[in-house]
Amino acid sequence: MPHKIETGFGLPPGNDGWTDWTWFHARYPSETRLTILCEAPVNYSGHFRKGRMVPCLGEGCPLCESGLGNQARYVFSVVEWESRRVGLLELGRGHALQIQDWMASNGGLRGMSVSIVRASAKKQSALEVKLLDEEAPLYFKHLQGPDLARALKSTFDRSVRSSLEAVPSGEEERRRTA
């Protein structure tokens, strides 16, 4: 069978492009400027375990039963200004509600530009999210972000198994995280 070779900047045959994304994380001290590509975020309830968020499995969740609390998480598709990479940005409820407040002045979510930066060099330091007054780069207008639900499911499929291994009893988990 001959190789399928195309000309131009489109995606090669058989590549739907939805996997061509990254997770964006705030850095310190430089800010990351992003433009939101989605009309609405996806959300889930998650637990922070082994250095990452894993989804709550609902009724009978071993992480809930071990006493590990959960939190609301919101995932947005975005494009980074400097690299023009498309990816995902995950925020907690407080920052998501702040973005929701900014939507009125922006005329919607898609096209809103924000910057993210960590308050210090520590990985778990406070996240600062600011609305940018600058006009979004023109190239964002033709971009579509990845299918948020599909990307989240793919991420969860890879991470849940390792995060649920050896879930300690509730008392042991509380001692370790206290």
Annotated domain spans of the chain = 22-42+74-137
CATH class of 22-42+74-137: mainly beta
pLDDT in tens, 152-167: 888 888 766 655 565 6
Q: Under 8 Å CB-to-CB from 160, ≥6 apart: which residues?
A: 54, 55
Which residue, chain included where needed, has tokens 């007054």?
A: 133
Q: Please say whether the beta carbons of 110 and 140 come within 8 A.
A: no
What pTM, to 2 d.p., does this model score?
0.79
Closest CA to 38 of 77, 74, 90: 77
DSSP class of residue 17?
A: S
pLDDT in tens, 20-36: 678 898 999 999 999 99
51: confidence class by pLDDT, cuts 50, 70, 90: confident
The rounded distance, in Å, linking the Cα atoms of 124 and 130 is: 18
pLDDT in tens, 80-131: 999 999 999 999 999 999 999 999 888 999 999 999 999 999 888 999 999 9
Which residue, chain included where needed, has tokens 């609405």?
A: 40
